[in-house]
Structure 1
């Protein structure tokens, strides 16, 4: 299969969006967690995952910590924030529960990235929570790690995971859109093979562009072969 650029006047051109990563300045003062959605591996009673992004670090009663999120006691419990866009994360701030059960926060890995493999828990590590005091709020620097997902996971342990508040600060990673018009020379049905073609293009460009996504704006169509002119026959009457 061959790929070639085509001029603007060609018919049946294929349109793609090339999204390339470009970091732009932004404000670090905004808590990005408020924009996102959350989930966790399980939920203990009414300790919902969104309690960790409700803006409440400390409840009115130190003996009541139902304003926190918590999983059940399980192997490798995790909590995930989907920021719904791509950011360069500068800081993640976590507030521990205010009582004696600090083991439910201590030793958790903060992971940031764009992959949902293993529920996002395979993304790179920013930091590991370490020895918080009861109710303590600790800031962890992630040095501009790029990611849509922020995971907190307690690996290799059977435990609850409790988070009384998670705050995320960073800047938007601008995704520049570039439109390409292409014509494919191929013997296959390009409409039927659109997914495979997109994968081949993605692989070919990956050696030159490190951060991009491709998608169709219009699915490819197979161009009809031009028909040869039909012979015109002239009928002559026999002349005597």
Structure 2
């Protein structure tokens, strides 16, 4: 089963209409009875946005959005989905995955393929439109970015490889900003042993004997 990465993140939005905060759109509840229950809503202003921080870099393959179920279904039309690492213009200048061009019915859910776009931030943006931005649920599906690091070491045969393991795991964790040593998979390989051989050169005479 696919994991909804949005449930791990945090959310903010440009403005907030009464108590309909940004976090309502990542609470795992697509629909509940009532007036925009468990939805996020901004004020009725120009260029409203909502931003999800996934806290880590991911390759994102699918974004799913659910519309409110009680009224005003047209407010989601024109929303741009933007994905990336930049917070320039509140993250709204990141590359665009898709645009909600068609009408999403009340309580309707639509999904967009983002083809593995990389980033930490997922924005819902309404450029050049003055309206309330309403989102009842935003779901994000993808895979984590894994960085491979290769190290080559020359160890004496008497070295305790377990101790070296622990030392380098701690150093890698610190250097890469990892939360635990379990995030690093460390493996060892031993090069074939070659015995050094030396060829002795025959001495050369500086000059020929004179007779």
TM-score normalised according to structure 1 size:
0.60
Structure of greater relative contact order (alpha carbons < 8 Å, 6+ residues apart): 1
Calculate the aligned-residue CA RMSD, in Å: 1.9
Q: Which has the larger radius of gyration?
A: 2
Equivalent residue for 1:138, pick from 93, 98, 110: 110
**Larger helix percent:** 2
Does 1:40 pair with 2:13? yes
Q: What is the CA-CA distance between 1:216 and the residue it aligns to? A: 11
Does 1:159 pair with 2:131? yes
The 5 A counterparts of 1:81-96 are 81-96=52-67
> 1:207 maps to what in 2?
none
TM-score normalised according to structure 2 size:
0.69
- Kindly tell me the number of residue pairs found equivalent between the two proteins: 153
> 2:93 maps to what in 1?
122
2:31·2:37 contact (CA, 8 Å) conserved in 1? Answer: no
> 1:59 maps to what in 2?
32
1:86·1:148 contact (CA, 8 Å) conserved in 2? Answer: yes
Does 1:70 pair with 2:41? yes
Query: Hey, which bits of structure 1, 4+ residues long, moved more than 4 A?
Result: none
2:39·2:136 contact (CA, 8 Å) conserved in 1? Answer: yes
Q: What is the CA-CA distance between 1:99 and the residue it aligns to? A: 3.0
1:46·1:66 contact (CA, 8 Å) conserved in 2? Answer: no
Q: C-alpha separation between the residues in 2 aligned to 1:86 and 1:34? A: 15
> 2:161 maps to what in 1?
none
**Larger strand percent:** 1
**SS of residue in 2 equivalent to 1:174:** coil
